[in-house]
A and B are shown apart, each in its own frame.
Chain A
Amino acid sequence: MLKKLTDFVRGSQVWKSIFRHGPPTTARNRAMVMLANVFLHLHPVRARASGIRLSFTWCMGGLTFFLFLVETVTGILLMFYYRPVAASAFNDIVALREDVPLGIMREIHRWGAHAMVITVWLHMFRVFMTGSYKPPREFNWGIGVVLLVVTLLLSFTGYLLPWDQLAIWAVTVGTNMARAHPAIGHEGPGSNLLVIDDIQFVTSGDDIRYALLGGRFVGEGTLLRFYVLHCIAVPVIAMVLMAVHFWRVRKDGGISGPL
């Protein structure tokens, strides 16, 4: 009965138009699955048994990517309800739990972000412990380091958006450091060098912190800037870098293994 049904579905024109090969029960068809599907095509058809062992990679790179996708989906849902203006941001966040059906999207988004920070650290830890940064993978390790920073920035820019005490003070503490930038911060050593006739060029009104916050303090301007950074700028950078990262994993000979 079931067999008949699956045979019918598999034989239908609709099914055949989607999947261009038979069921993945033979080696040939299993290879075809990987080649015909654009997403699975990220992977090679065959891999070394050592490289895909769970205890070797801990799947941490893959899970980091998966969590990035979770964040993208839940983030889009949150954007339906959230307005990045100081007057409404806080109330919108409260409403997410009170008024929105199945209101755990914010929770999943927040815990997913924390989890992504953890998995990315563990991924780096694994890559180091297997010596996978050694030639020919030096460049991809470098891309990875930038991805790590981008992951932290994603998390950090999102931290401000609830617009509560926790948010603005954590971001105040974090961005206070920027005013001490040695060259472009108004309290950094360099700001005293860029002085002509007593006119200071790097001041609290035009230094790097001002650019980051859109003002001298964490305020309305900061909220909008962080929102745009969090929802558009940083994710786009992350996606581009991930594309490069995955491409290079393949081009550098797949998951590393003994030479």
Chain B
Amino acid sequence: MLETIDGIFNFLTRPEIVFPGAFVLLYLSLRYARVWTRPPIALGIGVFLAALFVYSCAPGVGIAEGHEQFVESAAKADNVPITMMLGLLYFFFWLSLRKAVVNDERIEKGLPPVEADEKSRKVLVWPDLVYTELIAMVGVTVVLIVWALLLPAPIEEPANPGRTPNPAKAPWYFLGLQEMLVYFDPWLAGILIPALIMVGLICIPYIDRNPKGNGYYTLKERYGAIFVFLFGFLVLWVLQVFIGTFLRGYGWNFFGVYEKWDVNKVEPLLNIDVSEIFYVKMLGMYEPENTLVRELPGILLVLGYMTVLPVLFAVTKGKKLFRELGAVRFGIMVNLGLIMLAVPIKMVLRWLFNLKYIVNIPEWQLNI
């Protein structure tokens, strides 16, 4: 019985399930925010998640060695903050949506948001703010000291450049980028994608021209912006940290949450490139000798994706947006959005077709 449940969770945490699943979950949690953010329901979900965590850590139930594996990952001193962060994220995700829902209901009734009511009232920073800050600082200090007393900082064997640990993992906050290495070459995963995340974040205020929702919580007035941001933050970043920590084992292979990491696990590597799909599978011929000719379909795909799609969008559904934003803003926004979308697209292509490269020019180390 419990082993069946564990089996279900192992299935649910497969990459091709967990990503679309998280996406759907995010969609539902925003769509039905009014329902689930009600304190009793939200508390119930929180208790359920906590219980799930306790269950995962319980030894000797379900697939016993799978739980041991989970505990081993969760209890690594440097991984403890991840569990804390996930708990805090659930709480603050709920808090922000709850406040947004309350405000949205007020706005529907023609009232201003809660924050506006209080806005005209000015209070003295001493004592109202200074004391809150003092208490927060004392609280954090106590937490840190208790944490430090209970949990020794990790120290492993002395550095030995000759012995690579398996798996070798980056610090937890960079695991999202390490996960990208599965799907992209390092120049994309390690350099271009992080750079674009930074640029993209900085661009947000200049792209999102919606004047509403400035300085108060609201979901309805800026649904699209919140959805895109949370998709990036929760699904493409935080979920990757979770995956890198709990689901990536020996040889950076994928394992279910309750699956024992097997040293001998070998994933069949039947990766194929776009050039092979196009020339061999579709046209039934050999791949051309000339690199550029061979890679032409892939290059056209990439260029088309980045240039044709924005134009198509501008003259169809995005007409209004294009008029509002102007060509430059629109171009930057759509291109950033397309690059963000390219990440899950490449993942899906990998799962469905074992696609490795869209463009593969090893002579130039230019692989996309």
Given A27-B124, A45-B124, A164-B159, check contact A67 B140 (CB 8 Å).
yes
- Central interface residue in B113, B120, B144, B154, by most chain A CB within 10 Å: B144
CB interface residues, B 140-183, toward A, < 8 Å: 140-141, 143-145, 147-149, 151-161, 163-165, 168-171, 173-174, 177-178, 181
Kindly state whether residue A217 has any CB partner on chain B within 8 Å.
yes
> What residue in chain A is nearest B124 (Cβ atoms)?
A30
Inter-chain CA distance A132–B364, complex, in Å, is 44
| Contact pattern, A 186-202, Cβ under 8 Å of B = 1, otherwise 0 | 01110111000000000
Measured CB to CB, the closest approach of chain A to B218, in angstroms, equals 8
Determine the chain A residues whose CB is within 8 A of the CB of B317 once the complex forms: none
Do A257 and B119 have beta carbons less than 8 Å apart? yes
Inter-chain CA distance A132–B95, complex, in Å, is 17
Instruction: Select B147's contact among A107, A122, A258, beta carbons within 8 Å.
Output: A107
Kindly state whether residue A176 has any CB partner on chain B within 8 Å.
yes
How many residues does chain A have at the interface if contact means C-beta atoms less than 8 Å apart? Answer: 100
Measured CB to CB, the closest approach of chain A to B367, in angstroms, equals 8
Do A185 and B140 have beta carbons less than 8 Å apart? no
Kindly state whether residue B185 has any CB partner on chain A within 8 Å.
yes
Do A52 and B144 have beta carbons less than 8 Å apart? no
Measured CB to CB, the closest approach of chain A to B175, in angstroms, equals 10
Inter-chain CA distance A181–B194, complex, in Å, is 12
- Central interface residue in B121, B205, B226, by most chain A CB within 10 Å: B205
Do B216 and A177 have beta carbons less than 8 Å apart? no
Measured CB to CB, the closest approach of chain A to B215, in angstroms, equals 4
Do A185 and B115 have beta carbons less than 8 Å apart? no
Given A67-B140, A126-B92, A169-B164, check contact A149 B198 (CB 8 Å).
yes
Selected interface stretch from A7-15, A86-94, A236-244: A86-94
> What residue in chain A is nearest B92 (Cβ atoms)?
A122
Kindly state whether residue B190 has any CB partner on chain A within 8 Å.
yes
Measured CB to CB, the closest approach of chain A to B223, in angstroms, equals 12
Kindly state whether residue A70 has any CB partner on chain B within 8 Å.
yes
Do B366 and A189 have beta carbons less than 8 Å apart? yes
- Central interface residue in A53, A148, A165, by most chain B CB within 10 Å: A165
Do A258 and B206 have beta carbons less than 8 Å apart? no
> What residue in chain B is nearest A223 (Cβ atoms)?
B159
Instruction: Select B148's contact among A104, A125, A174, beta carbons within 8 Å.
Output: A104
Kindly state whether residue A84 has any CB partner on chain B within 8 Å.
no
| Contact pattern, A 150-180, Cβ under 8 Å of B = 1, otherwise 0 | 0010011001001111111110111011111
CB interface residues, A 93-150, toward B, < 8 Å: 93-94, 97, 104, 106-108, 110-112, 114-115, 117-118, 121-122, 125-126, 128-135, 137-138, 141-142, 145-146, 148-149
Do B96 and A63 have beta carbons less than 8 Å apart? no
Do A145 and B187 have beta carbons less than 8 Å apart? no
> What residue in chain B is nearest A111 (Cβ atoms)?
B147
Determine the chain B residues whose CB is within 8 A of the CB of A48 once the complex forms: 118-123
CB interface residues, B 225-262, toward A, < 8 Å: 226, 229, 233
Kindly state whether residue A54 has any CB partner on chain B within 8 Å.
yes
Inter-chain CA distance A75–B317, complex, in Å, is 54
Kindly state whether residue A77 has any CB partner on chain B within 8 Å.
no
Inter-chain CA distance A217–B124, complex, in Å, is 56
Determine the chain A residues whose CB is within 8 A of the CB of B151 once the complex forms: 107, 111
Inter-chain CA distance A108–B117, complex, in Å, is 41
Inter-chain CA distance A52–B132, complex, in Å, is 9
Inter-chain CA distance A141–B205, complex, in Å, is 8
Inter-chain CA distance A115–B210, complex, in Å, is 33
Do B126 and A24 have beta carbons less than 8 Å apart? yes
Measured CB to CB, the closest approach of chain A to B32, in angstroms, equals 18
> What residue in chain B is nearest A106 (Cβ atoms)?
B153
Instruction: Select A53's contact among B118, B154, B173, beta carbons within 8 Å.
Output: B118
| Contact pattern, A 215-229, Cβ under 8 Å of B = 1, otherwise 0 | 001110000000000
Instruction: Select A121's contact among B85, B100, B118, B189, beta carbons within 8 Å.
Output: B85
> What residue in chain B is nearest A259 (Cβ atoms)?
B214
| Contact pattern, A 52-66, Cβ under 8 Å of B = 1, otherwise 0 | 111110110011001
Kindly state whether residue B21 has any CB partner on chain A within 8 Å.
no
Do A46 and B133 have beta carbons less than 8 Å apart? no
Kindly state whether residue B311 has any CB partner on chain A within 8 Å.
no
Kindly state whether residue B213 has any CB partner on chain A within 8 Å.
yes
Do A131 and B201 have beta carbons less than 8 Å apart? no
> What residue in chain B is nearest A159 (Cβ atoms)?
B171
> What residue in chain B is nearest A114 (Cβ atoms)?
B81
Do A181 and B215 have beta carbons less than 8 Å apart? no
Given A118-B84, A177-B190, A256-B215, check contact A58 B123 (CB 8 Å).
no
Determine the chain B residues whose CB is within 8 A of the CB of A27 once the complex forms: 124
Given A43-B129, A58-B92, A130-B215, check contact A165 B159 (CB 8 Å).
yes
Do A134 and B145 have beta carbons less than 8 Å apart? no
Given A104-B149, A258-B116, A258-B215, check contact A52 B128 (CB 8 Å).
yes
Kindly state whether residue B192 has any CB partner on chain A within 8 Å.
yes
- Central interface residue in A129, A135, A179, by most chain B CB within 10 Å: A129
13 A-B pairs (CB sep. < 8 Å): A24-B127, A48-B121, A59-B132, A70-B144, A90-B155, A106-B153, A108-B145, A118-B85, A132-B215, A138-B205, A138-B206, A152-B174, A164-B158
Q: Which 8 A-B pairs have the closest CB atoms?
A: A177-B190, A107-B148, A180-B186, A138-B205, A256-B215, A114-B81, A50-B118, A180-B187
Inter-chain pairs besides A163-B158, A177-B181, 7 sampled, C-beta below 8 Å? A46-B125, A114-B78, A137-B205, A165-B165, A170-B169, A177-B189, A179-B186
